[in-house]
Amino acid sequence: MSNFGKVVIAVLVTVIVVGGGGYYYMNGKAVKERNDLQARISDLDSKNNELMGINSATTSSAEATSAKCPAASISDPVVVYSPATFTTEEKSSIQTKVIDPYLYYMKNIENTDLVSVSIKKYAEADRTRTGYYFEVSYVTKTGGWGGWLLSQNGIIDYWKPDCMGECTLSDEFRTKFPNNIS
């Protein structure tokens, strides 16, 4: 056999040994990390069950999960005022002039269910930068989101639907929210 053949065989053997060793090392490391993680998860589950008062010896995994995480049924969206510096008057005004008509419009006219509505009150520096006092944002049940800026002069105006052309509003909306019609 020529020297070239011996070199090729030596290189192949070296690659196989090094590759096999690297695979064995990395596989062992991955298995160890997985086992450590599973042990930590089991430990946390048992501590959580203790805190929740669930006896793991008599409770199945499905029962423990249902006890820890009851299904939530949200019919109305969560409304959050942030930061907690809103006066009672501001909250009441925003609720009656903006949030209530907007929620009604989205649910009954646009057929869109909202999950949350967030009203952010800008600090003085942000008011100067944006020209607005508040920011309203929302998330829909389907994952959509949006928002708008509110109140350029500190006075909370009535929310009015933005329609392409004439708005098709129900008589109930017109009766319930007469100030929210353009």
Q: What is the pLDDT of residues 104-149, one digit of tens each?
A: 998 888 888 899 999 999 888 888 888 899 999 999 988 899 999 9
Candidate from 26-30, 114-118, 174-178 with smallest mean pLDDT: 26-30
Q: What is the pLDDT of residue 118?
A: 93
Q: What is the pLDDT of residue 54?
A: 58
Has residue 73 got a pLDDT over 70? no
pTM: 0.57
Candidate from 57-71, 87-101, 117-131, 158-172 with smallest mean pLDDT: 57-71
Percent of the chain residues past pLDDT 70, beyond the cut: 87
Q: What is the pLDDT of residue 18?
A: 87
Of 119, 112, 64, 69, the closest CA to residue 90 belongs to 119
Q: What is the pLDDT of residue 153?
A: 83
- Determine the average pLDDT of the residues in 96-104: 93
Domain ranges of the chain: 3-68, 78-180
The string of pLDDT tens digits covering residues 30-67 is 788 888 778 777 877 777 777 666 554 555 555 545 54
| Residue 136 and residue 155 in contact, taking contact as beta carbons nearer than 8 Å | no
Q: What is the pLDDT of residue 39?
A: 79
Question: Cα dist. 134→97, 158, 168 in Å?
Answer: 14, 13, 27
